Amino acid sequence: MASRIQTRCLVLSDTHGEALHHRKVQESIDVVFHCGDLTEESKLDEFETTIRLLQGIDAPLKLVIPGNHDWSLDDAMFEKKIAEMKPSQEDLKLVEKVYGRVGEAKQLFANARETGVHLLSEGIHRFELTNGAVLTVYASPFTQSVNDWGFQYHPDDDHVWAIDDTVDVAITHSPPKGVLDYISSRERAGSASLFAAIALARPQMHCFGHIHDSWGAKMVAWRDEPGDTISHFTAIDNEQSTTIESLSTLRPTKSDNARDIEEKGSRRDSHDEKGYCAANRTATRGKETLFINAAIEGAEDFQQHWPWLANLSLPAALDRTFSKETRSHEAPEH
């Protein structure tokens, strides 16, 4: 039997150009995942803040994707916005000072690669980690919308999620429909086609953000027979699935008694003390997937949510060329 290496990862998303307000994570971390919305307004100084945030985490590898707020990383959208402005030469100089020229924000990340920060394009990527493990990730920044944000596709067109069963971790900005994707109106905002792709590939972990109201983690158990039409109704074995933590399990409610309120407060204090929320159990490959909505920017009474610490079981590398990346294929972009 091939050897497996236990790998610790820190997951965060939607920092929106802010530094982390929590205490610095003291745990040993092998890899960090940032699931997008690196900025609020796609400004150069916001990208610089996020790069410093990542560099400040003691981990040899940090994998990053953009989100819809990071439109200056989307060359076509950046060019479209400039064309629609029809700026004067003076206005263009101001735009370039704040947002940079097309490609300049990407160059910030290229310059940071020597510190372990990798901005991922859409597709499948493989890394050999310093702990001797091989990590295969699928990355995609795309979300559905009819607005002029970055990395968007029209809901009527849907999107191709080219994920396969070699993937250990799917990193997307969009949530899948049916898991940790409720907005404040209690409507689901995730992608049905993304859920179907995840349900077929069954990676160990799917991490995402975008929907701040649904921060949390859930260990999802898969049904053996998901049915002809794959959805969260047909593919998930709800009786065997477990919510690890969510805003709804931490916020006091009207039905809580004094003991419930004290217990929730104690759990929040514990997360504050550590600087993260833990998802300790490793998913059983092919049987379970750990879903994490890691949106950091707070909702309601929480100033900032916590990043997530999670465990992966990864195959050992045969050729231990550390932090080496190879790209097997990339999905078409919209």
CA atoms within 13 A on the CB side of 258: 0
Residue range 243-289, pLDDT digits in tens: 999 998 998 888 999 999 999 999 999 999 999 999 999 999 999 99
Residue 138 three-state SS: strand
pLDDT band at 132 (very low <50, low <70, confident <90, very high): very high
State mean pLDDT over 172-182.
Answer: 97
The pTM of the full predicted model, rounded to 2 decimals, is 0.93
Residue range 56-84, pLDDT digits in tens: 999 999 999 999 999 999 999 999 999 99
Domain boundaries, the chain: 4-329
From CA 66, how far away is CA 18, in angstroms rounded?
15
Contact of 114 with 145, CB cutoff 8 Å? no
**Alpha helix segments (H runs only) across 170-314:** 192-201, 232-235, 247-250, 258-274
Contact of 316 with 285, CB cutoff 8 Å? no
Mean residue pLDDT of the chain comes to 91
pLDDT band at 22 (very low <50, low <70, confident <90, very high): confident
From CA 214, how far away is CA 250, in angstroms rounded?
12
CATH architecture, domain defined by 4-329:
4-Layer Sandwich (3.60)
**Which pLDDT value is given to residue 301?**
54
DSSP state of 57: S
From CA 8, how far away is CA 16, in angstroms rounded?
24
